[in-house]
Amino acid sequence: MDALSEILRVVQLSGAFFVNARFTAPWCYQSPRAALAAPWLDPCAEQVVIFHLVTEGRCLVEMEGVAPLPVQAGDVVLFPRGCAHRMASAAGLPPPPREADLKRLLSSRPRRLAYGGGGEATRMVCGYLACDTRLARLLLDGLPPVLRVGLRGSAAGAWLESSVHYALADARTPRAGSAGLQARLAELLFIEVLRQHVHAGQAHAGWLAGLGDRIVGHALNALHQRPGHEWSLAELARAAGTSRTVLAERFQQLVGTSPMQYLTQWRMLMAANLLRRSNAPLARVAEEVGYQNDTSFSRAFRREYGQPPAAWRRSVLQQGWTEAAAASA
């Protein structure tokens, strides 16, 4: 299994569509910082990524410190760090005052919005993806604050766009599984954006840049295929078809850490996932992520998460119970 697929298999993502909009020029839609919307989108989320799929017409994306970005039908615009931004028919337009009430806007999903001056129409679907902070750091570091990818140039993109239309139609009269369908499509859109970004060679730094590099990509795939193996730098270099020096330099340059440090970080992410989702004993978790004894595993886990694994598991479970009780109150 390749590195991206392995990460997405191991680490849980969740998401949905929260706005289904039809705007007519002139219009402006204000999207606040994801952290402000998170309590109504996903109260349990550590990090929220926002995206918009434009299905008809065109518009501009405006964001502080970034030149206005034109987008058109078939484009997905992704905000990896959830920065505040505006989508508008022209530069400098103010959003309608009623959008300030986030709780009302997000109380039902997807919220149908329709407003504007009666001119050229633009349709878009707005969604989010919630993920673990460490996963976000791994996947999204090195990406620009806003990322645009066109879906209509690929068969997968066309299928995704038509599937989103189906999910939105289904949401009008929800049936069993409607929320799950939206969640999977939000995740698939996110994955396709990342895949196209790597394939186009637009990733210049970070984990995705490493994945797209011939040498570092081979090394990442090898580590993810056998994360419990006792890798040495020499053996990993052979798997990547290069020397230890070249691998170490390129890995550090693109991913921002050494191969062995990266392997430890990935093992700890795997361990956290096992601790959160199962009641497996610590010795078994340690063995599954490549440690011969739970003492060395506990030391490594504490360095990464600030707590021993048993204490971390208890705190995560307690947090889940507290959040569930608050949601049902």
**Domain termination site, one of 199, 228, 256:** 199
Q: How far is CA 312 from the centre of its chain?
A: 23
Average pLDDT (53-79) is 94
DSSP class of residue 291?
-
Same domain, 130 and 261: no
**Domain termination site, one of 144, 166, 199:** 199
Closest CA to 293 of 285, 283, 303, 301: 283
Q: How many domains does the chain have?
A: 2
**3-class state of residue 210 by DSSP:** helix
Same domain, 8 and 46: yes
The conformational region for residue 109 under phi > 0 = left, psi -120 to 50 = alpha, else beta, is beta
Query: Which residue has better confidence, 202 or 329?
Result: 202
Residue 323 lies in a domain: no
Residue 284 lies in a domain: yes
Q: What is the largest CA-CA distance in the chain?
A: 68
Same domain, 41 and 66: yes
71 touches 58 (CB < 8 A): yes
Q: Work out whether the CA dihedral 241, 243, 246, 249 comes out positive or negative.
A: positive
Same domain, 17 and 102: yes
**Domain termination site, one of 144, 177, 199:** 199
Q: How confident is the model at residue 1 (pLDDT cuts 50, 70, 90)?
A: low
Average pLDDT (143-165) is 85
Same domain, 212 and 184: no
Distances (CA, A) of 86 to 61, 65, 68, 129, 148: 6, 13, 10, 19, 14
pLDDT of residue 99: 57
pLDDT of residue 281: 92
Same domain, 98 and 171: yes
Query: Which residue has better confidence, 225 or 174?
Result: 225
Residue 71 lies in a domain: yes
Q: Which residues 6+ apart lie within 8 Å of 286 measured at CB? A: 271, 292, 293, 294, 296, 297, 298
Task: Answer yes or no: is pLDDT of 58 > 70.
Answer: yes
User: End-to-end alpha-carbon separation of the chain, Å?
Assistant: 43
Q: How confident is the model at residue 180 (pLDDT cuts 50, 70, 90)?
A: confident
Residue 100 lies in a domain: yes
Same domain, 189 and 270: no
**Structural domain containing residue 170:** 3-199
Residue 46 lies in a domain: yes
Residue 231 lies in a domain: yes
Same domain, 268 and 293: yes
Same domain, 176 and 215: no
Same domain, 13 and 139: yes
Token digits for 319?
Answer: 């947090």
Most confident of 99-113, 148-162, 314-328: 148-162
Arithmetic mean of pLDDT over the chain: 87
Q: Which ranges in 118-177 belong to alpha helices (H)?
A: 133-140, 155-172
Coarse DSSP helix, strand, coil percentages of the chain, rounded to the nearest 5 percent: 50, 20, 30
Same domain, 29 and 154: yes
Residue 275 lies in a domain: yes
Token digits for 197?
Answer: 């970004």
Token digits for 240?
Answer: 């990547």
Query: Which residue has better confidence, 317 or 289?
Result: 289
Residue 254 lies in a domain: yes
Task: Answer yes or no: is pLDDT of 85 > 90.
Answer: yes
CATH number at residue 106: 2.60.120.280
CATH number at residue 232: 1.10.10.60
Same domain, 162 and 18: yes
Q: Which residues 6+ apart lie within 8 Å of 177 measured at CB? A: none
Go through 232-252 and write b for each residue having 16 or more CB atoms within 10 A of its CB, e for each that does not.
Answer: ebeebbebbebebeebbebbe
95 touches 29 (CB < 8 A): yes
Token digits for 11?
Answer: 């680490």
